[in-house]
Structure 1
Amino acid sequence: MLSAVLSMGLAPATLAQTSDVPPAPAEKPDPNAPSAAPEEPIINLLDREPEPLFSDTLVPYAPARASSPGIKGGLRQGALYLMAKLTPDSPPLNEGLIWRIYSETTNADGRLQLVATSQGGDAEFRLDPGTYLIHTAYGFSQATNRIVIGKEVQSKMVTLNAGGIKFGAALKDGEDLDGRAVAFDLYGMEFNQRGERNLIASNVKPGSILRLSANTYHVVSKYGDVNAVVRADIQVLPGKLTEATIFHKAAGITLKLVNERGGEAIANTTWSVLSPGGDVVVEATGAFPDFVLAEGEYEALARNNGRTYLHTFQVEPGEDREVEVVTSISELASQQQSSINN
């Protein structure tokens, strides 16, 4: 389960004891209190008309603390204290949160104005009376809520309904592929207008943890840069860390063109690796090209000094090896005879 620890926020500034002192901040939300709808609930944006794109331009706003006693500006503002948790029953998060406060008033470009930001755990803001949008991000999990600010002090708890995925990769015998050329791409389950899944995160390395909204996701794991690709649908549960290990049936293959078995590799060789149907799987140039190939049968085609040499080979999962393509007539005849006998 994703861990979350209560973090104490910034205490409100102490003002001089005068008749103009603003009201004391409300108590922080009790993490153990049962979830109940507040008298003035935060309204989810899904219940409203679509808003324009958010603006990334920060609009200056009054600081959370008055610079000196007796400043009247703080009296004209309301205080907002925010906390977030993964589920209604989990403790508040004390790190990894990004808070953004947007004004509902749009600028000349039709974008919402960014008023204030905060990172870490809980957050406190002093805001002019008005309507705002609270955008809460925890990794790739996000929530946007609407709130009306007056001159009073408000405390709100945001429930993200989020979990996480920890990525891992292994061979079919269980050998760990951490540290090798393995990467993951994460997609949503829905398709866009081009018939493609929406990419959420790319080139994620084994051992990485992504924070995500509870949902089902499509994961593509690629071992090497050729055709060792495995796909899977993985469900993320709220408040849980899902460990997703993808098993690959592939191996590393190094090609060599030699004059005789066990001989020196011949430089300036152009290579093509073909599927049983004759389709080109991968091409390269050099004395020792190496690839990770999915399990199966392939044909290596080597071109050197105006001549072409062919050799059929098999890829077995987890069996990294060298594949030699020989140029000698006797070796080629022996391979052909062996193929006929088989």
Structure 2
Amino acid sequence: MLDLGSVSIGAATLRFLKNATCALLIAVPAIVIESAPLSAQTVEAPMPPGPKPDPNAPSVPREDQIINLLDREPEPLFSDAKLPLVPTHSTMTGFSDGLDQGALYLMAKLTQDSPPLDDGLVWRIYSETTNANGRLELVATANGGDAEFRLDPGAYLVHTAFGYAQSTNRVVIGKEVQSKMLTLNAGGIKFGAAMKDGNGIDRQQVTFDVYGMTFDERGERNKIVGDVKPGSILRLSADTYHVVSRYGDVNAVIRADIQVLPGKLTEATILHKAADITLKLVNERGGEAIANTTWSVLSAGGHVVVEATGAFPDFVLASGEYEALARNNGRTYQHTFEVVPGEDREVEVVTSVSELAAQEAVVNN
């Protein structure tokens, strides 16, 4: 059975097919992070001793512009910013003052038109040449918003991270003061989960994995982050991502491609079609569960979906028809049941032939 889901982005609506597990709704609110950065955890960061670069200064595009994956006009990634006043000394720890060093001020924006980020950034400065171990040497780091570094003349690689949105740029330092503005071209996803019929869902059993869209030589996608819980917000570079949502540990799985727009927070709610099923082997309907029972749950096509041992095995199963096989004391008992989305229940497998026949008659009627 295929379900038809809908994706709403602004005023445009795209409709696309989903698998039998659930449907997906993606919505980008009209006003989300229009002129404000994504929320971030507060991290103390060293402040430059003098005035900061002018965030409204025009950006000068570099020769190799960023590749835009959302059919938007290219934006400069790393550009110069005007510095109205040069500080006389640095307050950054771990750097020696002196006339033989250059000063580097760094700021970052989500988009070219958004204000500078004042929190949540991680700056790392690497030397361009490798050390004796063949690795780039980490020269300095800073957390928070803008950052100031005093560096010896030479070429460096500046790595910037805002959540899972990252960028690496090359800068050449002399004995002068430089100020750079980085355009991250990033946004975010906020994940949610619900039942398609509106019933509640155990959010603790729902997870999200985020993958890139390309495949490696083994035909596998690159996992960016896994085991994300509902309500979480991920900061990501503007791009399209492959998202896999799991409800439970068996077969309630949905896959969908979600687009992250620069400076926007995309809200993605997974609408699952599944239920929590508990199996019991009993001598009669409503009786006590029989211990030391081995279970197999088969799909309508006869394939093993999940196996377990115990008196009360519990699974989240995708909607559909299944057959439960219970093995106890050398005997096998079976019972066919249906999983209805959102209807968590116990399924009894009766050892008595007469009781089982009566139970199946009630179900058929």
- The verdict on a shared fold, with TM-score over 0.5 as the criterion, is yes
Normalised by the length of structure 2, the TM-score is 0.78
Q: Using the alignment, how far apart are the partners of 2:117 and 2:48 within structure 1?
A: 18
Q: Which residue of 1 aligns with 2:234?
A: 210
Q: Using the alignment, how far apart are the partners of 2:287 and 2:150 within structure 1?
A: 76
RMSD of aligned Cα (Å): 2.5
Indicate whether 1:175 and 2:199 are aligned.
yes
Number of aligned residues? 305
Q: Which residue of 2 aligns with 1:277?
A: 301
Q: Using the alignment, how far apart are the partners of 2:56 and 2:65 within structure 1?
A: 23
Change (3 A) 1:116 1:178: farther
Q: Using the alignment, how far apart are the partners of 1:268 and 1:250 within structure 2?
A: 27
Shift of residue 291 of structure 1?
Answer: 0.4
Change (3 A) 1:176 1:115: farther
2:335 to 275, 286, 311: 311
Indicate whether 1:133 and 2:170 are aligned.
no
Q: Which residue of 1 aligns with 2:48?
A: 11
Change (3 A) 1:44 1:35: closer
Indicate whether 1:259 and 2:283 are aligned.
yes
Q: Using the alignment, how far apart are the partners of 2:197 and 2:361 within structure 1?
A: 34
SS at match of 1:75: coil
> Are the counterparts in 1 of residues 92 and 149 from structure 2 also a CA contact under 8 Å?
no
Normalised by the length of structure 1, the TM-score is 0.83
Shift of residue 30 of structure 1?
Answer: 1.9
In the TM superposition, 1:178-197 aligns within 5 A as 179-197=203-221
Q: Using the alignment, how far apart are the partners of 2:117 and 2:54 within structure 1?
A: 13
> Are the counterparts in 1 of residues 283 and 351 from structure 2 also a CA contact under 8 Å?
yes
Q: Which residue of 2 aligns with 1:234?
A: 258
Which runs of no fewer than 5 residues in structure 2 stay unpaired? 1-31, 39-43, 68-88
Matched residue type, 1:109: N
Q: Using the alignment, how far apart are the partners of 1:4 and 1:65 within structure 2?
A: 27
Q: Using the alignment, how far apart are the partners of 1:254 and 1:126 within structure 2?
A: 63
Indicate whether 1:76 and 2:100 are aligned.
yes
Q: Using the alignment, how far apart are the partners of 1:178 and 1:119 within structure 2?
A: 36
> Are the counterparts in 1 of residues 208 and 226 from structure 2 also a CA contact under 8 Å?
yes
> Are the counterparts in 1 of residues 45 and 144 from structure 2 also a CA contact under 8 Å?
no
Q: Larger relative contact order (C-alpha < 8 A, sep ≥ 6)? A: 2
Q: Which residue of 2 aligns with 1:163?
A: 187
Q: Using the alignment, how far apart are the partners of 1:286 and 1:178 within structure 2?
A: 23
Q: Using the alignment, how far apart are the partners of 1:10 and 1:155 within structure 2?
A: 14
SS at match of 2:279: strand
> Are the counterparts in 1 of residues 295 and 309 from structure 2 also a CA contact under 8 Å?
yes
Q: Using the alignment, how far apart are the partners of 1:133 and 1:66 within structure 2?
A: 19
Q: Using the alignment, how far apart are the partners of 2:96 and 2:110 within structure 1?
A: 38
SS at match of 1:180: helix
Q: Which residue of 1 aligns with 2:19?
A: none
1:148 to 154, 161, 172: 172
Change (3 A) 1:144 1:199: same
Matched residue type, 1:151: K
1:288 to 302, 312, 332: 312
2:135 to 106, 111, 114: 111
Matched residue type, 1:11: P
Which runs of no fewer than 5 residues in structure 1 stay unpaired? 13-24, 47-62
SS at match of 1:105: strand
- The structure with the largest alpha-carbon Rg is 1
Shift of residue 304 of structure 1?
Answer: 0.8
